[in-house]
């Protein structure tokens, strides 16, 4: 059975909007057409992907799995198309990924100065997809924050920077020049603990007794909104925290944890000459830090 990528694209829109009307507007098609395409996809896969009533639309367990796989599959298809056109002698194009707080302008300008006909696109990534975007072809090369999944990738270290705790202005630690990670032992961490292993592995950390589940946050902006609402704290690279400076929050250096490291990542299967040239340029530009 061949999977229709167009139907998958339609399904992803519904899965992300959880509303057929909004998804149809996003796709610029009529809602009845969208509904028929989703039913056809369910028939082809022989599973129910969505439950729907007059008030809401929700993913089934099968729908959740198909959505996760479909996002990667569609991105891989886009990457294949870009690489095929480039190999056929199409317009030179490079896509650069970057994490919040990292400015890529200088490196991009250095590359385009060497190649006046080159088009460089940029794509913001997140902790969840910063390396997957390289593997599935959405980007050719990406600025990633460690720790990151290194499989199938080439990595070049660029620079490191301190990490800071971001706290509400009225927090008990606000006003200090620096803190130790143990000072945050009793705090509710509003991010994946694996991103702050020093906090996760504190031997005497008091388990979070807050009955509320940790909010499912994805973006830096969402995390900071929850911090400002006194829901918890986050630990961020200093450049990210500075980029998102706001008056109701404060940033305090965490003195006794390793600096955050930024690397450049690209696929070790098909890097391309432009990717390798960009890596060399970025290594020189960022040798002294961001």
Distances (CA, A) of 26 to 7, 68, 82, 125: 14, 19, 23, 21
pLDDT per residue as tens, the chain (290 positions): 677 888 888 999 999 888 888 888 888 888 888 999 999 999 989 999 998 877 788 899 999 999 988 887 887 777 777 666 666 665 578 899 999 889 899 999 999 999 988 889 999 998 888 998 888 888 899 999 988 888 889 999 999 999 999 999 999 999 898 999 999 988 888 988 888 888 888 886 665 555 566 667 778 888 999 999 988 999 999 999 998 889 999 999 999 898 999 999 998 877 788 899 999 999 999 887 76
Domain boundaries, the chain: 5-71, 92-160+261-285, 163-257
Dihedral Cα 125, 240, 217, 256, nearest 10 deg: 120
| CATH code of the domain made up of 163-257 | 3.40.190.10
Give me the pLDDT at residue 83, please: 66
Architecture of domain 92-160+261-285: 3-Layer(aba) Sandwich (3.40)
DSSP for the chain reads ----HHHHHHHHHHHHHS-HHHHHHHHTS-HHHHHHHHHHHHHHHTS--EEE-SS-EEE-HHHHHHHHHHHHHHHHHHHHHHHHHHHTT---EEEEEE-TT---HHHHHHHHHH-TT-EEEEEE--TTTTTHHHHTTS-SEEEEESS---TTEEEEEEEEE-EEEEEETTSTTTT-SEE-GGGGTTS-B-S-GGGSHHHHT-TTPPP---SSPPP---SHHHHHHHHHTTS-BEEEEHHHHHHT--TTEEEEEETTSPPEEEEEEEESS---HHHHHHHHHHHHHTTT--
Q: What is the pLDDT of residue 211?
A: 55
Task: Domain 5-71: state its class.
Answer: mainly alpha
Confidence at residue 175, expressed as pLDDT on a 0 to 100 scale: 86
Q: Do the two domains 92-160+261-285 and 163-257 of this chain adopt the same fold?
A: yes
Q: Is the pTM of this model over 0.85?
A: no
pLDDT at 17: 87
What gap in Å lies between CA 189 and CA 194, rounded to an integer? 11
pLDDT computed for residue 233 by the predictor = 93
């Amino acid at each position: 059975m061949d999977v229709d990528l167009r139907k998958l694209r339609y399904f992803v829109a519904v899965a992300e909007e959880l509303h057929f009307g909004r998804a149809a507007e996003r796709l610029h098609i009529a809602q009845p057409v969208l509904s028929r395409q989703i039913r056809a996809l369910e028939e082809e896969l022989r599973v129910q992907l969505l439950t729907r009533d007059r008030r809401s639309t929700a993913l089934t367990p099968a729908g959740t799995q198909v959505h996760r796989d479909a996002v990667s599959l569609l991105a891989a298809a886009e990457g294949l198309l870009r690489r095929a056109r480039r190999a056929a002698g199409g317009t030179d194009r490079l896509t650069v990924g970057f994490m919040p707080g990292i400015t890529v302008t200088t490196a991009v300008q250095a590359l385009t100065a060497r190649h006046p006909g080159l088009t460089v696109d940029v794509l913001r990534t997140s902790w969840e997809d910063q390396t997957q975007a390289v593997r599935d072809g959405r980007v050719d090369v990406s600025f990633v924050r460690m720790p990151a999944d290194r499989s199938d990738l080439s990595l070049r270290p660029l620079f490191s920077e301190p990490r800071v705790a971001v706290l509400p202005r009225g927090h008990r630690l606000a006003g200090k020049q620096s803190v130790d990670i143990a000072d945050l032992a009793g705090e509710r961490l509003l991010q994946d603990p694996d991103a702050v292993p020093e906090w996760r592995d504190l031997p005497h950390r008091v388990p979070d007794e807050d009955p509320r589940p940790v909010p499912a946050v994805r973006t830096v902006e969402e995390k900071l909104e929850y911090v400002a609402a006194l829901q918890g704290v986050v630990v961020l690279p200093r450049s990210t925290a500075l980029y998102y400076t706001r008056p109701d929050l404060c940033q305090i250096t965490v003195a006794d944890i390793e600096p955050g490291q930024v690397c450049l990542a690209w696929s070790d299967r098909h890097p391309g000459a432009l990717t390798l040239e960009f890596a060399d340029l970025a290594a020189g530009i960022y040798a002294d830090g961001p």
